[in-house]
Every structure is written in structure tokens, then in C-alpha cells.
């Protein structure tokens, strides 16, 4: 009986852990979708078409965001950049997303962090506003037609932009094992924006 009780308890704990992981994954997906939706609101306000969702870019964005896990968002005194914290890109990252280097080198990656104290519900919009201020040139560039978003801990958000051309379309395909050259994808400076309720209402339009 004791043995059965122990097995039942183990199954219950495993079930709880699985549920927690599923909830966390769902919350992360919602944050990513909200972040990209706000980016697209900006695009539409500029008379540009919304970015389509790019599966390969989304995968890269999630992997890059994960590299920032545990990294503090230190500059919170304005729209500044944090140098020296760019994640390292390697074949392992692309392998996880089943991408070839040749198909990502013309893409663009823009990380953004949100200072502590911002609610989880507000973080995606704050991060999007940050990106629209610091990376507006890329957001307005018509060569980028699709995008992916990733985030971690509602503190770091990553936008990955893709083109229609083969050098930047982030199309998933079998990874060529002979590819050994360095990834040359553009990485934006990491931008940080202060959240000031008295000067910026979250409900305002871009």
C-alpha cells in the first residue's frame, strides 16, 4: 500500500510539473504574439503591410531570447543601449531551428529589454514601443516582409525580421553539415526604455 501511495504521489507531482510547463509555455506564446501584434500596429500606422509570421524567424527569436535568461535589464534611465551583451550565434542555434546559415545572413535581430516593475500584461507593449523608437529604420524597410518574436521572463523580447530573398527568408530546411562560415546576420544594439506612467499611457496609439 505504501509503495502504491508513493507511486501515486510521484505521478501527481509529474502531472503538476507538466501542467506548470504547459502554462508557462502558453504565457510565453501569448507574450510573443502580443509583442508582434504591437509591432504590426506600428507598421500599419506607417502605411506599411503587417509582417507575416515566419516560423524559422520565430524559432531563432525564441532561442536568442533564451540566451538572455537571467540577464538584468540595467539601463533604465532612458532609451539607451547596453553594449557587450549580444548573444553568440553558432551552428547549434540554427540546428535547433533546422536552418541553413545562407538563409539567415540578411535577416535582422533586434533585442529589447523591459525594466523591472513592469507588469507581465504591459511588458510586450513597452518592449514594442522601445523597438519602434530604436529600430524604426529596420521596421520601415520594405525588404523585410515577415517576422518572428521571442521572449523570456517578460523582461527580454527579441524581434527577428526576414526577407523574401533566399539569403534572409529563414526557411526551415535540412542543415548542410558542410556549412562552417560565420553567421553575418545583423544584430541591433540592445535597447532599453524607461517606463514612465506620467508621460506615456499604455493605451495610446503608436
pLDDT at 51: 98
Is the pLDDT confidence value at 179 over 60? no
What integer is the mean pLDDT of 27-43?
90
Strand partners, 111: 158
Q: Give per-residue pLDDT as tens, 38-92.
A: 999 999 999 999 999 999 999 999 999 999 998 888 754 333 334 334 444 578 8
Answer whether CATH 3.40.33 is correct for domain 27-192: yes
Q: What is the mean pLDDT of the chain?
A: 75
The Cα-based distances of 171 to 86, 88, 188 in angstroms read 24, 21, 21
| Environment class of 163 (CB within 10 Å of its CB; exposed 0-12, middle 13-18, buried 19+) | buried
Say whether pTM exceeds 0.85. Answer: no
Model pLDDT for residues 120-164, shown as the tens digit of each residue: 999 999 999 999 988 889 999 999 999 999 999 999 999 999 999
Residue ranges of domains in the chain: 27-192
Amino acid at each position: 500500500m505504501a509503495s502504491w501511495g508513493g507511486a501515486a504521489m510521484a505521478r501527481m507531482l509529474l502531472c503538476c510539473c507538466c501542467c506548470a510547463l504547459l502554462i508557462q509555455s502558453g504565457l510565453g506564446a501569448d507574450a510573443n504574439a502580443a509583442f508582434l501584434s504591437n509591432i504590426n500596429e506600428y507598421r500599419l500606422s506607417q502605411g506599411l503591410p503587417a509582417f507575416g509570421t515566419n516560423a524559422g524567424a520565430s524559432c531563432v527569436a525564441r532561442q536568442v531570447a533564451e540566451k538572455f535568461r537571467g540577464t538584468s535589464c540595467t539601463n533604465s534611465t532612458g532609451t539607451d543601449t547596453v553594449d557587450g551583451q549580444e548573444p553568440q550565434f553558432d551552428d547549434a542555434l540554427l540546428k535547433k531551428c533546422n536552418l541553413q546559415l545562407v538563409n539567415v545572413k540578411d535577416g535582422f535581430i533586434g533585442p529589447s529589454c523591459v525594466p523591472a516593475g513592469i507588469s507581465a500584461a504591459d511588458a510586450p507593449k513597452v518592449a514594442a514601443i522601445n523597438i519602434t523608437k530604436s529600430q524604426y529604420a529596420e521596421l520601415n524597410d520594405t525588404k523585410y516582409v515577415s517576422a518572428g518574436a521571442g521572449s523570456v521572463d517578460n523582461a527580454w523580447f527579441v524581434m527577428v525580421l526576414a526577407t523574401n530573398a533566399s539569403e534572409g527568408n529563414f526557411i526551415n530546411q535540412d542543415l548542410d553539415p558542410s556549412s562552417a562560415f560565420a553567421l553575418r546576420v545583423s544584430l541591433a544594439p540592445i535597447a532599453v526604455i524607461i517606463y514612465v506612467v506620467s508621460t506615456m499611457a499604455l493605451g495610446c496609439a503608436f
